[in-house]
Structures are given as C-alpha cells and as structure tokens.
Amino acid sequence: MNLMAPLASPPQGPVLWPHHWRTVERLRERFGEDARFSALIVGGSLAKEYGREDSDVDVVFIATPEEARRREAAQDFGYFDQADCDYAGGHVDSKVVDLAFLRDGAAGRRGRPSSARFPSSRT
C-alpha cells in the first residue's frame, strides 16, 4: 500500500509556498515507492504555519522496522538534500524514525525535543 499518495491539491493558507509544495512532491515521487519508508511527514516551521518564503523543508521519513534497525546500527538518522529544491538557498532537512519512535514521543517516553517537533505536523 502506497502511503505517500499525492494530495489532490496543496493545503490552503500560509502552510506551503508553491516552491515548498514542489519540493514535497519531488520527495514523494522519489521515495513514494521506496519499500524502506511508509510515510513522509512535513514538519518544522512550515507545518507549524510560521515558516517564511525562504524556509527549508523539514520532513520526517517513517521507516520500516528493518530500515530503522539498519539506520540505528549505522547511526544514520538524517537526510539532507538541495537537489529537490528549486529556490535560492532551499534544502530538505529530514530525520528518519520508525513508528515506535513516534509512539514513544506521543506517550511522553521521549524527551521534549523529539515530541515537540510533531504536534502541528501535516501528514
């Protein structure tokens, strides 16, 4: 099941500028069929609705348990990319987590920095 299906249209309001939306769509196209990931969450200032036109695109990749274990062993929890951005200074800054990490954060078993990132995120 493809959990990274495109939305019918961009969200309304000051959530994403068109160039941010294009970046998210490029990420979805690149990783949407990648079996290592089940979802992509847009977070950071854009999801919290205080982003600026020049804001970076913060995302969280939800990894399968197998991919999460592989990344934990390699201590590889991030993804940084400029190629998918078509605006000056634009970049994607992301974290890779699994569902257990999100559940722990929602239940208060993770510190504030991890759980504070997700309350206003859009999936």
The 10s digit of each residue's pLDDT in 68-100 is 999 999 999 999 999 999 999 999 999 999 999
CA dihedral angle for residue 101, residue 30, residue 83, residue 13, rounded to 10 degrees: -70
Q: Is residue 75 part of a domain?
A: yes
Closest CA to 51 of 1, 90, 82: 90
* pLDDT score at 5: 56
Does some domain include residue 120?
A: no
For the domain that residue 100 is a member of, what is the CATH number?
3.30.460
Domain span at 97? 18-115
pTM value is 0.74
What tokens does 38 get? 């089940």
Low-confidence residues in the chain, pLDDT < 50:
1-3, 112-118, 120-123
Q: Is 2 a member of any domain?
A: no
Does 30 reside within a domain? yes
* Residue at 74 is within a domain: yes
Q: Could you tell me which residues come within 8 angstroms of residue 56 by beta carbon, excluding any fewer than 6 positions away? A: 44, 90, 91, 92, 93
Domain count, the chain: 1
Q: Does residue 9 fall inside a structural domain?
A: no
> What gap in Å lies between CA 55 and CA 20, rounded to an integer?
8
Residue 12 falls inside a structural domain: no
